[in-house]
Structure 1
């Protein structure tokens, strides 16, 4: 019999210098923990003056730099990094872009960031964080 393992995922809301005055993201849940094999949805609320905002999700595992997961916009255009195509899904609404992770694995334990601008480049630029933590139970 395989014992289900619990793991934690830390989530930090991020605010970037590129954002305009009214632009913001908020990840309201501070810490989420879930059982391996289940699904979880990470919430991200956003505000922007842009009529066609582009929303991004990133993952940062321990001792690693943030990595791009996916990009979405309101008109339905989307992109997922190849390693996140099967289990990571998201759709943009008028004020949120939740990230659903299916069939959770222990390796999914990480810090997750949502953003209104592309933030991870090949030079791995530094992220500026708002201290809003989230955890998965």
Structure 2
């Protein structure tokens, strides 16, 4: 029995629920069948690219490939590439798929889909509250830009 698990992670500083989630948490197939196993994730934000990783027990996640979320999606594969892996993007349904052809027991692992979100809006808010309030007056360093501290 071949066991594949798919999970999702979001590649931002904090986790935001339901932005990226697997269609199925677990997938099982019988070895020896000539089959293509498809792992899928839904995403609900605009992304620069969507990535797939594989994690074997006791190991760190390993990059497999990414697909760009553009009018003409392109795939960037790990080096060396695995010719049995294919990424498919369904932009109308906001889904990304990882297809594993000729699935085998050696493909049993946890698979992660991740995304790199696009950044929009006013990035100056990233600098809000950089300074702490001190009891003694502080002078900004000469020639170094500074931002006023505000209370939230």
Normalised by the length of structure 1, the TM-score is: 0.70
- Structure 1 contact 23–49 (Cα < 8 Å) conserved: no
Q: What is the aligned partner in structure 2 of residue 9 from structure 1?
A: 4
Q: Which runs of 4+ in 1 moved over 4 A?
A: 19-23
Contact map agreement 1:18 1:117 (CA 8 A) in 2: no
SS in 1 for 2:83: coil
Distance 1:92 1:63, change over 3 A: same
CA gap of 1:33–1:55, structure 2 versus 1, over 3 A, is same
CA distance in 1, matches of 2:84, 2:109: 15
1:56-75 equivalences under 5 Å are: 56-73=51-68, 74=70, 75=72
Q: 1:24 deviation in Å?
A: 1.5
Structure with higher Rg: it is 2
* Match 1:34 to one of 15, 29, 45: 29
User: 1:19, 1:116 within 8 Å by CA — same for their partners in 2?
Assistant: no
For residue 86 of structure 1, give the secondary structure of its aligned residue in structure 2.
coil
Q: Unaligned 5+ residue runs, structure 2?
A: 118-152
Equivalences, count: 111
What residue ranges of structure 1 are gaps of 5+ in the alignment? 1-5, 119-137
**Within the alignment, does 1:48 sit opposite 2:78 as a pair?**
no
CA RMSD of superposed structures (Å): 2.4
Contact 1:59–1:110 (CA<8 Å) still a contact in 2? yes
Higher relative contact order, structure no. (Cα contacts within 8 Å, ≥ 6 residues apart): 1
